[in-house]
Amino acid sequence: MDFNFADRMGGLTGNAIREIFKYLSDPEMISFAGGMPNKQALPADILDGISRELFAGKGIYGILQYGSTEGYLPLRESAVEFVKGVGIDGAELKNTLIISGGQQGIDLACKVFLNKGDCVLVEDPTYIAVLHILKTYEAKAYGVKSDDDGMNTDDLEEKIKKYSPKFIYTVPTFGNPTGKTYPIEKRKKILELAVKYNVVVLEDDPYSRFRYEGQALPSIKSMDMTGHVIYNTSFSKIIAPALRCGICVADGEIISKMTLCKQATDVHTSTLSQALADGFLRGGYLEEHMKRILPIYADKKKLMKQAIKKYMPKDFESTDPSGGLFIFGGFKSGKETSKYFMEALKNKVAYVNGSDFFAAGDGKNTLRLNFTNSDDVQIDKGIKILGEIFAK
């Protein structure tokens, strides 16, 4: 049959990370590609215990049944407590929606706000999946210049005036892909601009708990007095990606619209996932879990930085973020990373071409490296292989 697909499918190709994902089933592959937690950081034993308790409890029939779209009530209650960790104190149940992973929060925000042709501003570079999601809404993404400490707010203001965006998407803490963290002044300025021009801010925060040094910063949402900020977070990195479970906190009107849209997509998030996440938070496991994994990840970052210094060509410059999962780098010589990608894969090392993170495909000399997923030996070995390939 000759299918008559929707217009949105025209420009839609797979997001690069997901395409690379297919190669990762090869057990010999060293993957610096996805933002995957380390195997050691997956709390299988804790989840096993919580699961046994859930199945032994009287509530199990309620957990296995249909649930409300807004989410499993105990988890929504836990969510209200959880976001206090990033300074969000005033959230009530009506401001929370449980989402099927952080990405669904972005998708639902797009569904609620975007008409075909609408504009969204993103930091350049930005989270790759946002660019993919925006294509499914036939919306336009424009990149805002990035300074060493995040989005350039002069350029942001200029582009707000020029493009009248529906929202600004940002990962202000240990941003993806660069690992950059916006200082408090920048956070305030972005909120100020959002209020001044009446633009929504979609603050995506999957990484702020992964701080290896320095002081925690309040989220932009914590400073929001006018309802301009949608705050998204996820349990994928702090518990387990497979749960597909996260939290969205926003103005009640936005949450109720997002709920209507979620109703239409997956009815509700897996209640088992929600109950496991709730058990994890409520049982007080998070703190000890993070205490255990943070030093492991901090060491891995150090190891990767050392390996980069040792093996990568001298014109390769990379970030040294104080948290998160990624190092972002580029060749001052302008060497195009995509040209080396297939050879790297053949040599069993995966990374992500940096240009995939740019709204208009810039940054062809850049790449993103994840340091959390690999073993220490793999980090050294993988960067050595990349060093040899990029030396060519």
In the window 161-180, what residues touch a copy of itself (CB under 8 A)?
Answer: 166
Distance CA 264, CA 273 (A): 20
Nearer to a copy of itself, 59 or 361 (CB): 59
* Contact assessment for residue 357 and residue 125, using Cβ atoms and an 8 Å cutoff: yes
CB of 15 to a copy of itself, least distance (A): 6
Secondary structure letter of residue 100 according to DSSP:
S
Residues 213-242 that bind a copy of itself (CB under 8 A): 226-228, 236, 240-242
From CA 375, how far away is CA 121, in angstroms rounded?
Answer: 36
- Single out the residue of 149, 183, 263, 288 in contact with a copy of itself (rule: CB under 8 A): 263
Taking each helix axis from N to C end, the angle separating 102-113 and 252-265, rounded to the nearest 10 degrees, works out to 100
> Within positions 95 to 124, which residues make up the interface with a copy of itself, using CB under 8 A?
100-101, 103-104, 107, 111-116, 118
Cis upstream peptide for 125 (omega within 30°): yes
Q: Which is nearer to a copy of itself, 15 or 181 (CB)?
A: 15
- Contacts to a copy of itself from residues 37-96, by CB under 8 A: 37, 39, 42, 44, 47-48, 51-52, 55-56, 60-61, 63-69
Indicate whether 277 belongs to the interface with a copy of itself (CB under 8 A). Answer: no
Whether omega for the bond prior to residue 177 falls within 30 degrees of 0, making it cis, is: yes
CB of 64 to a copy of itself, least distance (A): 4
The phi-psi region of residue 238 (left if phi > 0; otherwise alpha if psi is between -120 and 50; otherwise beta) is alpha
Among 76, 268, 300, 364, binds a copy of itself (CB under 8 A): 268
Does the footprint of a copy of itself cover residue 200 (CB under 8 A)? yes
The footprint of a copy of itself on this chain (CB under 8 A) covers a number of residues equal to 86
Residue count of the chain: 392
Nearer to a copy of itself, 95 or 269 (CB): 269
- Residue 382 lies near a copy of itself (rule: CB under 8 A): no
Selection from 172, 107, 105, 134 nearest residue 11 by Cα: 134
Run of H or E residues at 51? helix 44-56
